[in-house]
Amino acid sequence: MLYRYMDMSEAMYELRLLAGNGYTQPLTAYEKTRLVERTKAALMRAKEEDGLEIQGKMRDLIAAMLNESSTNVARMESINNNATPEVKEQLKSGNMGITAAYEAAKLPPEEQKAIADKVAAGEDIRAKEIAAKVAEKKAGDNYETPHPESITSLCYSCQRYKDCNVKTGTCEKCDQYINKAEAEKTEEQRYNEEQDRIDKQTRKKLQERADKEKMENLPSAGKAVDKVHEIKIAASYYDDVTSGRKRFELRKNDRGYKVGDTLKMLEFEDGKHTGRIIDADIIYMLEDYAGLEEGYCILGIDVKAFSGMVSETDTGGGGGRADRGAKEL
């Protein structure tokens, strides 16, 4: 039993009664709607007569007092303010739920009355149908009948869909929304998703690192890139080149040779590659010189490696080819 204290005003006493009803009494949809209306009126009265300070939105305060969501309170306020007596009567009789009444309250009075009359006659009109009518009314001539794949209501993906009494086909935001797919995932699914996320981040970081290294290794402006030229060398010259006796090549400059490039010289005998190779750097270049045929050049080369070379140990640590820094391929 709720007692009234001597210094308690009528408005404050009524607020305590209303709040108690919201928490302790099982109420119908219509009774909840009326309770919201009475609570709002009592709050306004307490504010004017008793100087009650209301912080934040009044809707949120009413929701907290009556153990309701702010969304539901907003819908009930809309019914109280906009629904016709006929719609409220059908809500009171239980023929129409809060969601249907809320959607109907968005329509003109004559259309609300028509819907209420159909409901009173026993016709089953769902909230979704009324919401579609509201959307059609808003869109006017540009209205298109929605297709299932275009419905974006949160309700259909909410874990509370079956038990919710205010679900609609047009909901875009709800403070009670719980993503059904997310809430019902198994531990294994969550683990796999986490691993996929980590793998994705790792791949992204590796790609970013590779892109960064690629950019860092780009040739600077004005600096040409050294090339590797694969050319043939007659078997009769192979030993002369590897021994260091022949440190030049006379070549037609049809490859754009330049100092710093590398020659990969493939030994050929009787028209066939023997398998032996010489790697040499171009360290000097002579062209456009008297006595040189036009288009030809002389390349000074430094042998770095070749097939079948003799190691320093085999030569007794002496000079020769190993002293020039060449290595065996």
* pLDDT value for 114: 92
Q: What is the DSSP letter of 257?
A: -
Q: Give the residue numbers spanning the domain of 267.
A: 228-328
Convert the pLDDT of each residue in 44-55 to its tens digit: 887 787 777 777
Whether 174 contacts 154, CB under 8 Å? yes
Ranking 13-17, 90-94, 165-169, 228-232 by mean pLDDT, the lowest is: 13-17
Q: What is the pLDDT of residue 32?
A: 86
Whether 308 maps to a domain, the answer reads yes
Assess contact for 33 and 77: CB atoms under 8 A. no
Average pLDDT in the chain: 80
236 lies in some domain: yes
Share of the chain above pLDDT 90, in %: 30
Q: How much is the average pLDDT of 41-46?
A: 82
pLDDT band at 4 (very low <50, low <70, confident <90, very high): very low
What's 237's domain CATH number?
Answer: 2.30.130.30
pLDDT of 318 > 50? The answer is no
For 157-180, the DSSP string reads GBTTTTT-SS--SS----TT--BH
| pLDDT confidence of residue 312 | 46
- What average pLDDT does range 300-319 have in this prediction? 66
Q: Which helix (H) or strand (E) holds 245?
A: none
What is the pLDDT averaged over residues 52-69?
A: 80
Residues 6+ apart with CB under 8 A from 228: 261, 262, 263, 264
259-309 tens-digit pLDDT: 999 999 999 999 999 999 999 999 999 988 888 888 899 999 999 999 865
Mean local confidence (pLDDT), 111-124? 91
Q: Is residue 242 part of a domain?
A: yes
Confidence of residue 223 (pLDDT cuts 50, 70, 90): low
Question: Per the structure, how many domains does the chain have?
Answer: 1
Helix (H, G, I), strand (E, B) or coil at 321: helix
Q: Is residue 57 in some structural domain?
A: no
Highest mean pLDDT among 21-30, 40-49, 216-225: 40-49
Distances (CA, A) of 254 to 249, 257, 295: 14, 8, 8
User: Is 230 a residue whose pLDDT tops 70?
Assistant: yes
